[in-house]
Amino acid sequence: MVICEIHIKVAPETKEEVFATFCKDQKVKQIKAVFTKGDYPNQLMTSKYISCSNISVGIERVKTLSGEITSVGFRVLRDKLEICCGTEKLLQGVDIAKEGLYFESHFKIKDDPSDKLTSVLQKYEMTGISVNILSKTRCCWSQIGCHVPGLGGSL
């Protein structure tokens, strides 16, 4: 079994209250990530942890949730499946390029008062800092995302 997280990002014009109601009804967490750079500095998205036998099953569950979101009128900008731990066996038979998969790491930090880390990250296109401003249990202020270049995706 593999544990994954599904993120479905919706368009900036999405009404937050309506999306929050949808997420609650679907029993998925709503996230509003605020980024320091990128095309979409404020991003509404879902967060849902799933357990599945292999990555192909996870991809199908992403497509199902994305279809449900689209069917009720939200404009989906990106479907993302984060694989918490993957092995060669779990990825067997999955065409990473065809499915648009990429790999990403997150590091949570408490604070960067002198902006030293921020100034370093600004130099690299595929890194960024985000905060889920809707989190009621946020123990850390920022989350650093690092996408592996050449495998797709955007901040």
User: Do residues 110 and 140 make contact, with C-beta atoms less than 8 angstroms apart?
Assistant: yes
Give a three-class secondary structure readout of 10-56: ECCCCCHHHHHHHHHHHCCEEEEEEECCCCCCEEEEEEEEEEECCHH
Model pLDDT for residues 28-57, shown as the tens digit of each residue: 999 888 876 667 778 899 988 888 888 788
pTM over the 0.85 mark = no
CA gap 97, 73 in Å, rounded: 28
CA gap 155, 36 in Å, rounded: 10
Model pLDDT for residues 67-97, shown as the tens digit of each residue: 999 999 999 998 888 776 555 666 667 776 6
| Structural domain boundaries in the chain | 2-147
